[in-house]
Structure 1
């Protein structure tokens, strides 16, 4: 089973350069997790505790988006570690962070990093 949070938008102050940390930027976060439901879990019980709550995925991302980092690689890794700690039964986690308008004066829609975990 796959549960995904797609295109969560945040305005934050991540960036290597001081001007990025001062002016901020728009970031897009995707979180995709995969797990194997058991016969007594999510698909049959209709209990949110037997699956991954995408609202909690958003809360984890939001917490880290509010804590500036120089590298979005670091940011994505911190989000991944929190998701993994909260949901120890996951088989796979992918975190994608897109930084919109990353280069002043250049025509680039976004840069993206992806970090992943496979059990």
Structure 2
């Protein structure tokens, strides 16, 4: 079993339940872990035999550009698209942190974790 990971990918995006969140935007941090058995022998040294983390980053980047009310929706879309492009994966974990959420007190971030 192999796990590739992208941790601390930062994005400025416009996800939020309230209209002002969708206008002002905020910072988000995304962590992705993808576990899988290699498609073929890794000795072949071919990127097609693994999960290409550059493509995974592209998936995250594309989904973060699509405004949603719920960060759960965004995290699920990221996980689903990774599974679609890499169907041989065994487990995909997406953690999406919304930095400084608009609450009545100081909160560093809210977080959602989805594992499929």
State the secondary structure of the residue aligned to 1:30: strand
- CA apart distance, 1:107: 1.2
Question: CA deviation digits over 1:79-115, x for unaligned, max 9?
Answer: 1110000000001000010000002552110010000
How many residues in Structure 1 have an aligned counterpart in Structure 2?
A: 115
Task: List per-residue Cα deviations over 1:9-60 (Å, max 9, x = no partner).
Answer: 000000000110111000001110001125x33x211111100110101100
Distance 2:37 2:62 in 1: 27
What is the match of residue 64 of structure 2? 65
Structure 1 vs Structure 2 CA RMSD: 1.1
Q: What stretches of structure 2 of length at least 5 have no aligned partner? A: none
Match of 1:20 in 2: 21
Dislocated runs of 4+, deviation >2 Å: none
Mean Cα displacement is larger for which, 100-109 or 45-54?
100-109
Could you tell me the TM-score, scaled by structure 1's length? 0.92
Task: Provide, for residues 52-84 of structure 1, a one-character-per-residue CA deviation record: whole Å limited to 9, x for no partner.
Answer: 110101100110111100000001111111000
Q: Distance in 1 between matches of 2:63 and 2:97?
A: 15
Structure 1: distance between partners of 2:43 and 2:24 = 48
TM-score scaled to structure 2, two decimals?
Answer: 0.95
Structure 1 gap segments, 5+ residues each: none
The equivalent of 2:85 in structure 1 is: 86
Q: How does 1:1-119 map to 2 (within 5 A)?
A: 1-37=2-38, 40-41=40-41, 43-117=42-116
